[in-house]
Amino acid sequence: MPARKIIIDTDPGQDDAVAILLALASPKEIDVLGITAVAGNVPLSLTAKNARIVCELAGKPEVKVFSGCDTPMARALVTAEHVHGKTGLDGPDLPDPTMPLQDGHAVDFIIETLRQHPAGTVTLCPLGPLTNVATALKQAPDLAARVQEIVLMGGAYFEVGNITPAAEFNIYVDPEAAEIVFKSGIPITMMPLDVTHKALVTKPRNDAFRALGTKAGIAVAEMTDFFERFDKEKYGSNGAPLHDPCVTAYLIKPELFSGRHINVEIETTSELTLGMTVADWWRVTDRSPNATFIGEIDADGFFDLLTERLANL
């Protein structure tokens, strides 16, 4: 099978960084056409910089990185320095990037790339708020019929929220964008907190990254050391959840995951539950299924895959 062509839309973020490293370490399965940065965990200037830091960490300065939307479609930006630190990539000491940002806007890159490739051959992988992707769909409605699939990290149902009691961060930051994406008719596979909270970096798993002894392995271990302090305090869990790498791992080994094809609607008006992904897991409505909601992961298989692939960098 030829490598699957993808665009990674991201707000790095330590877990975004690991997702990107996994993709760049897996060229047989994944062909990264470009990386588009969006404002989210930290402001856009930092996410656009961090995306390039990660490409250079992977030894791939030739990857095209574009800067995108700096604010959500209809709201002020909410960021998550309390989780990811001031830079968004706190933990390891990584050099500033020397590779350039590409000319042009991320949204134009998404539109042009989807129009240049045959319909149904490019997958979008959003790892942050959905602003860039929804803006592209709004500007170019023909794109909906051209996207092969959207595999995204976002949402939560049984696991409820991490930024408010009801909402997961990526959806909460730009619910209007999420609504456009979930109503687009594009096949969607989503990695909600329900599954990512089962992908915990326990100490032995982090030790395995560090034991690779490579720049990438050590950096991943240090990133995880940094952001796990937050989740350990909050959830009392055994380590930090590696949210975003679930997306790229799914592209490589979908058999590690399982879920249900159901209807998912986005709350955009209630103050109390803004950004909630109302998932009809029990199929109690007759609303049409629009997303595969992943709930289970083979966590050992996932961490084996990550460790094996990071060793390639």
Candidate residues 13, 88, 92, 217; the one interacting with Ca ion per rule CB under 5 A: 13
User: Considering only residues 15, 179, 225, 265, which one is a binding residue for ligand BDR as defined by CB under 6 A?
Assistant: 15
Report the residue number, 111 or 264, with the smaller CB distance to ligand BDR: 264
Centre a 10 Å sphere on the Cβ of residue 234 and count the other Cβ atoms it contains.
Answer: 10
Residue number, 83 or 208, with CB nearest to ligand BDR: 83
41 counts as binding ligand BDR under rule CB under 6 A: yes
Closer CB to ligand BDR, 246 or 262, in the complex: 246
Distances (CA, A) of 197 to 106, 155, 296: 30, 12, 10
Q: The dihedral of CA 179, 181, 183, 188: what is its sign?
A: negative
Q: How far is the CB of 135 from ligand BDR (least distance, A)?
A: 18
Residue entry with tokens 């047989």: 28
Q: Which residues of 158-169 are buried (b: 16+ CB within 10 A; e: fewer)?
A: ebebbbbebbbb
Q: Considering beta carbons, is residue 12 or 217 the nearer one to ligand BDR? A: 12
Is 168 one of the binding residues for ligand BDR (CB under 6 A)?
yes
Interacting positions 243-262 with ligand BDR (CB under 6 A): 243-244
Binding partner selected for residue 231 from ligand BDR, Ca ion, none, CB under the kind-specific 5 to 8 Å limit:
none
Q: Which stretch binds Ca ion (CB under 5 A): 86-94, 127-135, 245-253, 265-273?
A: 127-135
Residue type (1 letter), 16: D
* Residue found by looking up tokens 């949210």 in the block: 243
Q: Is residue 13 within the footprint of ligand BDR (CB under 6 A)? A: yes
- Six-digit token string for 257: 């995951």
Distances (CA, A) of 149 to 175, 179, 186, 245: 20, 16, 6, 17
Question: Does 127 interact with ligand BDR (rule: CB under 6 A)?
Answer: yes
Tell me, yes or no, if 243 is annotated catalytic. Answer: yes
Find the part of the chain contacting ligand BDR (CB under 6 A) among 11-19, 22-30, 180-188, 258-266. 11-19
* Helices of type H across the chain: 14-24, 44-57, 81-84, 106-116, 131-139, 169-173, 175-182, 193-196, 203-211, 215-235, 245-252, 299-310
Handedness of CA 171, 35, 256, 309 (dihedral sign): negative
Q: Is 60 in the site for ligand BDR (CB under 6 A)?
A: no
Picked from ligand BDR, Ca ion, none, the partner binding residue 9 (CB below 5 to 8 A depending on kind) is none
Residue numbers at the binding site for ligand BDR (CB under 6 A): 13, 15-16, 41, 80, 83, 127-128, 153, 162, 168-170, 243-244
* Active site members: 243
Residue numbers at the binding site for Ca ion (CB under 5 A): 11, 13, 16, 127-128, 244
